[in-house]
Amino acid sequence: MNISVLGAGAWGTAVAIALTAKNNVLLWGRNAASMQQIQVQRENIAYLPGHPLPSNLQISSDFDAAMHHARGENDLLVIATSVSGLRPTLMACQAFKPKNVIWLCKGFEEQTRLLPHQIAHELMGADVRTGALSGPSFAQEVAKGLPCALTIASDSTELCQLVVQALHVNAMRVYSSQDLVGVEVGGAVKNILAIATGVADGLGLGLNARAALMTRGLAEISRLGVALGGKAETLMGLTGVGDLILTCTGDLSRNRKVGLALAQGKTLDVIVQELGHVAEGVRCAQAVRALAGELGVDMPITHAVAGVLFDGISASDMIARLLSRDAKQETR
């Protein structure tokens, strides 16, 4: 199968590495100098250092070449940008009329509060098979070939089968789902909750507090997911509780690192400078807070995180506000 991966960040590079096990893969990045360096060094030192690229992985900054590489009926286009980059990338792809398109990003578009699949449906039309690949996964571990389980969510059974065929190999397992809303809400909101658990860990509140935040955070994910039309059972799977556990506890989590830094009193500008980019949970928090308000969905942890990120509330005040909430019956 011919596959083009658009986006040569850490996750795009890791997925491209994994896909080469049984496919003809091209990794595209827009910066010609950077892609030339990757081609020469056979390593993405800027985003995924320490992971040599397979000899059969093609590297290119030629967008036309990347699109023509994956235009066949059974070829696959993988978009590995952030949520903010999804719309312009899909718009650039329109003229080439790709047959099968999936994306790896997790979150809501900031201005429109749309999920990725809503953006794709708006831009690509019904003739293009589209879907979201999500689940608990760190780029560094996928690049190493360590065990991983993911979910492909799509309205198209044919696309799900195609992705399973491409990725279900060696230590990687891929499951399929038709619940795009549930899969994407789980992937988006867990990043916000990882910031919250990072704050709690950074303040030394202990493992009990982390468990409480994760559990009540899962309830928030479920409430929003169901309100948007997702299935509660989806959020008990890989792309809900599975991704939540990984992102809230794993030291490789960028969003958890944001929370740890907030607990140290660092400003968001300093945190972004140190990380080198904005973690998706930061972009997502404002949109989810607004969406929850519109829908009347109770999401106190999300509101607290957004307050720290955007309203000048301190990390310690965030925790105090959560602890001062009235006791009530535990429900989803």
Query: Is 190 a known active-site residue?
Result: yes
Alpha-carbon Rg for the chain, nearest whole angstrom, is: 19
| Three-state DSSP string of the chain | CEEEEECCCHHHHHHHHHHCCCCEEEEECCCHHHHHHHHHHCECCCCCCCCECCCCCEEECCHHHHHHHCCCCCCEEEECCCHHHHHHHHHHHHHHCCCEEEECCCCCCCCCCCCHHHHHHHHHCCCCEEEEEECCCCHHHHHHCCCEEEEEEECCHHHHHHHHHHHCCCCEEEEEECCHHHHHHHHHHHHHHHHHHHHHHHCCCCHHHHHHHHHHHHHHHHHHHHHCCCCCCHHHCHHHHHHHHHHHHCCCCHHHHHHHHHHCCCCHHHHHHHHCCCCHHHHHHHHHHHHHHHHCCCCHHHHHHHHHHHCCCCHHHHHHHHHCCCCCCCCC
Options 106, 190, 231, 257, the catalytic residue: 190
Q: With contact defined as beta carbons under 8 Å apart, do 290 and 311 qualify?
A: no
List the catalytic residues.
190
